Amino acid sequence: MLRVILVTGSLSYGGAERHSIALMNRLAERGHQCHAVYIKNVGDQLDRVRLREGGTVRCLDATRYFDRRALTDFAAHISRIRPSAVVAANPYALLYGWLALRRAGVRAPLAVTFHTTLLPGVKQWLQMLYYRPFFWLADCLVFICKAQQRRWRRRGVFSRRNELIYNGVDTEEFGDRRSPEERGRLRSALGFSDADFVIGISALLRPEKNHVQLVDALAVLRKNGIPARALMIGDGVTRPAIEARALSLGLEGDVVITGLQPDVRPYIAACDALVLCSDAETFSLAALEAMALGRPVVHSDIGGAAEMIRPGENGFLFPVGDTEALVDRLARLSHRADRERMGRKARETVEARFSERAMVDRYERLLLDLCRTRLPAEEAVVH
């Protein structure tokens, strides 16, 4: 049995946080003792953490970027837990994990899962120069797609050991078993008819997710006679801009924003296709969830999108920012038979290559191997 501390910057709504929670929950189900640590007091997803007996959840309550009190607290927590391994999600958590392990004097392997490809500004690039030595000092760096791995290794971001483990989705949880009648009621409750071509987007309303582009595409589709409507699953800072664009194009009744939802499955099930217009994305869990639910995805050709989507088979890709190309891909999915055929292929793709079970298998094997090679067996494994 392993004792694993999984540390995140927060438990906000985000892909890295969801990935960490899924990993700790599944490892706990397999009999490993898992402990969750999050640095900033943002616990939006706290109710999703389901650790077994002996597992703990601790917030470090950091009030600034680098909080010495929080670091001391983390080091004391590590001294009490005596973990077999520490897994940090992204560079900020890596910084705290590395320093806390040293302060605690505990010899446990440190792995970092990296969920970023593009950085939005100069500040973030300068931070990466600071973080890079911590990647070099970690025992293992896990990339989540090939495109990301190639990009960062060219920029000197690597570790003593480097692995590629794709994100995975629980294919049981994300399985569409709703009858046509149930789906009809879902759509009706959201204001959609059976004749509407409902295009969903499941993402926080943030600038890099580029929701406004879907509003622009919607206007063109409707002008071309396609009864397209949009369901935006989420909320965030760009909501006013999205609503203003919809109003200016006369689409205020055709763009539905759900707000934050703890369970996105019913909303995805109400859609005919999903789109991601992101101009910054690594390997989208939202896209995989939609595919697992049998929905074809139209995704900007960025990050590892081409590693999950085979154009014309289980979805489509389009050049980042190219609204004309986005309209073209969505128009092809307006035909029911085509999108249903591609939706079935999307589900098959997730089952074959991107299941959560396969992902957790890989992480479990990796952590056991790191413990065997990094520490003496009696220190690495709890009997």
33-47: pLDDT as tens digits: 999 999 999 988 999
**Which tens digits make up the pLDDT trace of 201-223?**
999 999 999 999 999 999 999 99
Q: Which residue has the tokens 């001294």?
A: 79
Residue 53's pLDDT is 84
Give the whole-angstrom CA distance, residue 3 versus residue 81.
8
pTM score over 0.75: yes
Residue 346's pLDDT is 98
Residue 328's pLDDT is 97
Query: Could you tell me the domains of the chain?
Result: 3-168+356-380 (3.40.50.2000), 180-353 (3.40.50.2000)
List of long-range contacts for 175-178, beta carbons under 8 Å, 24+ apart: 175/292, 175/293, 176/269, 176/293, 176/294, 178/269
Q: How many CB atoms lie within 10 A of CB 241?
A: 14
Q: What's the DSSP call for residue 283? A: S
Residue 277's pLDDT is 97
Tell me what the mean pLDDT of segment 136-161 comes to. Answer: 96
Asked if residues 256 and 268 have their Cβ atoms less than 8 Å apart, the reply is: no
Q: Which residue has the tokens 């900007």?
A: 300
Residue 378's pLDDT is 37
Tell me what the mean pLDDT of segment 350-354 comes to. Answer: 97
Give the whole-angstrom CA distance, residue 33 versus residue 123.
37
Residue 133's pLDDT is 96
Residue 120's pLDDT is 73
Tell me what the mean pLDDT of segment 250-275 comes to. Answer: 95
Give the whole-angstrom CA distance, residue 155 versus residue 99.
24
Indicate whether 332 pLDDT > 90.
Answer: yes
Q: Give the confidence band of 374 by pLDDT, cuts at 50, 70, 90.
A: low
